[in-house]
Amino acid sequence: MPPQSSFEAVNAYVDDAARIIDLDDEALAVLRSSHREVAVSLQVRRDDGSLLVVRGYRVQHNGARGPYKGGIRFHPQADLDETRALASLMTWKTALLDIPFGGAKGGIEVDPVGMSPHELERMTRRFTNGIRHVLGTYRDIPAPDVNTNAQTMAWIMDAYSAGAGYSPAVVTGKPLDLGGAPGREAATGRGVVYVLEAAAMHWKLDLTALRVAVQGFGNVGSWVTRALHELGVPVVAVSDVRGGVHRAAGLDVPALFEATTGGGSVVDVAGRDGAEAITNDELLGIDCDVLVPAALGDVLDERTAPLVKAGTVLEGANHPTTPEGDRIMNERGIRVVPDVLANGGGVTGSYFEWSQNIQQYRWPEERFNTELRSKMVEAFTNTELFAEERGITLRQAAFAIALERVARAEKLRGSA
Ligand code: NAD
């Protein structure tokens, strides 16, 4: 059998959930395909005068419950199939978190490493102009993802507003000076930790005795690490694209931030205070209680899933587990808290930012975090209870709840 594409893999979860909720074939056919796909060729003038030509995508998967919503990533593997898969995941995530958005994703198939800020800005503006006809405050709202950040969102907002007038709510994850919400940058990582707190309480685990390993030290991974450290939970291993570092008694978290501020790597901490260098593969199989993949997709597969020693996997990244990896971990009794639940704090925070922009009113960060926590705990509790009731996995329960909500919205809107 040929290997499954990422979109096929997500649709396999959709099919499974459809069986669980007994969804009819017509409704399922709607939910399996994306509504709109825009592909653009982008010409970017490099600083040295040469021309870079790359492809960019925006896929809008489903908008039955609200405007399309999803991040934009710059990565060599951000092709149309991956973008479709991630757009579909956004549909299920926004539905599970019960926020009034649909699902979308965007990407530029490019390696941004080594590109200058001017080149990145020119590429981002070109991309925005190429997809602006499908964007809008009540149409489609991008956000940061892998290798994009608040600055990227500022450029998108500016390029879009040049034609449409001042439109802060057309993107989320903006800098605070341009209508960003205090708390949004940390929201995905904090959300992962709120889910872990809720799970520990529900499963009667002593939170501060849990040893956690985090793959990736970007936006999500670094905020997970920081939030765990604030709670006194030991982080025993972390990694980034250059490799990882491990200390069984817990890493010196402030030292990790010191090493990475200004472009360094977590690996630079190796050798200090008993911390040892490890590879990214070794991190996945490290002796710990909770593993948080927070980097890229497809890292837990048939080769690495058998190595996992953690009892719980919290999916901070999107689609970090292949269906085969998922099957292996389920058989091994590892609890997998799926991406659509675990990293839903990002889009929930984006929803808070979007609503504040529309009202031209800013919440203090404490309110942001309180409401974020309550949304994450509610989503975890609903998913856990549904899974217990039906005797199914958390992933199956999360998709089933989400599918039911989107299918209901589709039906109410009609198909004539
Ligand atoms: P980021 O670009 O800020 O960070 C990515 C991190 O992964 C970096 O530390 C990088 O060094 C590391 N990395 C890259 N390749 C690696 C490899 N082969 N092995 C180990 N580490 C590697 O990205 P991010 O925004 O933190 O996103 C990470 C994941 O979380 C993605 O799957 C993204 O879709 C998902 N996510 C992000 C958000 C958000 O708000 N940023 C929200 C929900 C989900």
pLDDT in tens, 339-385: 999 999 999 999 999 999 999 999 999 999 999 999 999 999 999 99
Beta strands in 25-80, from DSSP E residues, in sequence order? 36-45, 51-62, 68-74
Ligand 1 atom 35 nearest Cα: 317
- What average pLDDT does this structure show over 223-249? 97
How distant is the alpha carbon of residue 185 from its chain centre? 12
For the entire predicted model, the pTM comes to 0.96
Distances (CA, A) of 117 to 120, 143, 258: 5, 19, 23
d(CA 108, CA 39): 10
Nearest to 146 by CA among 220, 61, 58: 220
Identify whether the C-beta of residue 356 lies closer than 8 Å to the C-beta of residue 181: yes
Q: Can you name the CATH fold of 35-171? A: Rossmann fold (3.40.50)
Over residues 217-240, the mean pLDDT reads 97
Work out the pLDDT band at 3, boundaries 50, 70, 90. low
* Number of Cα atoms under 13 Å in the Cβ half of residue 40: 23
Pocket-testing residue among 105, 241, 299, ligand 1, by greatest number of atoms within 8 A of Cβ: 241
Q: Which own/partner contact pairs does 259-267 have at CB distance under 8 Å and 24+ positions apart?
A: 260/217, 260/222, 265/240, 265/241, 266/217, 266/238, 266/239, 266/240, 266/242, 267/240, 267/242, 267/243
N-terminal to C-terminal alpha carbon distance within the chain: 38
Strand pairing partners for 73? 107
Residue nearest atom 23 in ligand 1 by C-alpha distance: 146
Q: Which residues line ligand 1 (CB under 6 A)?
A: 144-147, 188, 215-221, 239-241, 280, 294-296, 316-318, 343, 346
**415: pLDDT confidence band, cut at 50, 70 and 90?**
confident
CA-CA distance, 109 to 252, in Å (whole number)? 36
Question: Residue 285's closest CA among 264, 304, 259?
Answer: 304
> Which residue's alpha carbon is at the smallest distance from atom 29 of ligand 1?
317
Residue 4 is predicted with a pLDDT of: 79
Going by alpha carbons, the residue nearest to atom 5 of ligand 1 is 218
Q: How far is the CA of 27 from the centre of ligand 1 (A)?
A: 33
- Selection from 269, 242, 267 nearest residue 255 by Cα: 269
- What are the strands of the beta sheet with 212-215, ordered from one edge? 276-278, 243-246, 235-240, 212-215, 290-293, 312-314, 335-337
Return the ligand 1 atom nearest residue 349 CA.
Answer: 40
Query: What pLDDT, in 10s, does the model give residues 78-116?
Result: 999 999 999 999 999 999 999 999 999 999 999 999 999
> CATH 3.40.50.10860 spans which residues of the chain?
35-171
CB 214 within 8 A of CB 395: no
At the fourth CATH level, the homologous superfamily of domain 187-342 is: NAD(P)-binding Rossmann-like Domain (3.40.50.720)
Each residue of 278-308: pLDDT tens digit? 999 999 999 999 999 999 899 999 999 999 9
Rama region for 79: left / alpha / beta (φ>0; ψ in -120 to 50; rest) = beta
Assess contact for 154 and 187: CB atoms under 8 A: no
Output the pLDDT for position 416.
66
Q: Kindly report the number of other CB atoms within 10 A of residue 116's CB atom.
A: 11
Phi and psi, residue 60, nearest 5°: -105, 110
What digits encode the pLDDT tens for the residues 137-182? Answer: 999 999 999 999 999 999 999 999 999 999 999 999 999 999 999 9
Closest CA to 68 of 98, 91, 37: 91
Q: Are the C-beta atoms of residues 249 and 219 closer than 8 Å to each other?
A: no
Domain with CATH 3.40.50.720 in the chain: 187-342
Cα–Cα distances (Å) from 213 to 183, 284, 290, 313, 321, in that order, read 24, 8, 6, 10, 16
Distance between CA 192 and CA 233 in Å, rounded? 13
Mean pLDDT score across all residues of the chain: 96
Query: Got the DSSP string for 262-308?
Result: TS--GGGGTTSTT-EEE-HHHHHTSS-SEEEE-S-SS-BSTTTGGG-
